[in-house]
């Protein structure tokens, strides 16, 4: 696995270097989970996403999804924020999709996304899951936690504030 993961090094004043491996599993969906990532768009969109991530110094380890969402496992340098990566990847790929469909159809990503940090032992599992997205969905064998792209805020739930452990603090 070490050969797959790219180690990002930051120079100190001495000859020693910090060893930093930040690997993330990121999931985002199309607007209102509409099936907008067609077979025609999938390959060019994924190439675009991988290229944009690489321009930021990130290494895409896996990229896959369904017509209504995308999963990406990526090694990210400490100099790039998750927000910057997602703004770039989603923004440029959305523009590409609009250009490729020649404005024939609507295309937009949802504003939200989910990010899961990965320890090295879990990376292979996440990569395999992402690479077999279509198979997992066809067999109804998805990991629901890794399929969600947003989280309800406590205020939007029907529970009262007193139902939360931190209430009253």
DSSP H or E stretch at residue 75: strand 69-75
Residues 30-75: pLDDT tens digits? 999 899 999 989 999 999 999 999 999 999 999 999 899 999 999 9
User: In this structure, are residues 80 and 58 in contact, taking their beta carbons and an 8 Å threshold?
Assistant: yes
Using CB atoms within 10 Å of the CB of residue 135, give its burial: 0 to 12 exposed, 13 to 18 middle, 19+ buried: exposed
Strand, helix or coil for residue 12:
coil
Q: What is the pTM of this model?
A: 0.73
Q: Which domains does the chain have, with CATH numbers?
A: 8-163 (3.30.70.1290)
Q: What is the pLDDT of residue 10?
A: 45
Cβ atoms within 10 Å of 94's Cβ, excluding its own = 18
């Amino acid at each position: 696995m070490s050969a797959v993961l790219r180690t990002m090094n930051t120079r100190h004043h001495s000859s020693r270097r910090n060893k930093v491996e930040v690997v993330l599993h990121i999931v985002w969906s199309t607007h209102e989970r509409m099936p907008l990532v067609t077979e025609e768009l999938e390959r060019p969109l994924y190439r675009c996403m991988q290229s944009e991530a690489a321009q930021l110094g990130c290494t895409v380890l896996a990229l896959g999804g369904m017509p209504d969402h995308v999963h990406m496992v990526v090694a990210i340098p400490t100099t790039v924020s998750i927000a910057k990566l997602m703004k770039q990847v989603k923004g440029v790929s959305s523009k590409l999709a609009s250009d490729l469909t020649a404005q024939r159809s609507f295309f937009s990503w949802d504003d939200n996304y989910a990010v899961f940090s990965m320890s090295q032992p879990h990376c292979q599992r996440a990569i395999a899951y992402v690479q077999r997205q279509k198979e997992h969905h066809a067999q109804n064998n998805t990991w629901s936690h890794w399929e969600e792209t947003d989280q309800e805020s406590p205020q939007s739930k029907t529970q009262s504030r007193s139902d939360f452990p931190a209430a009253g603090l």
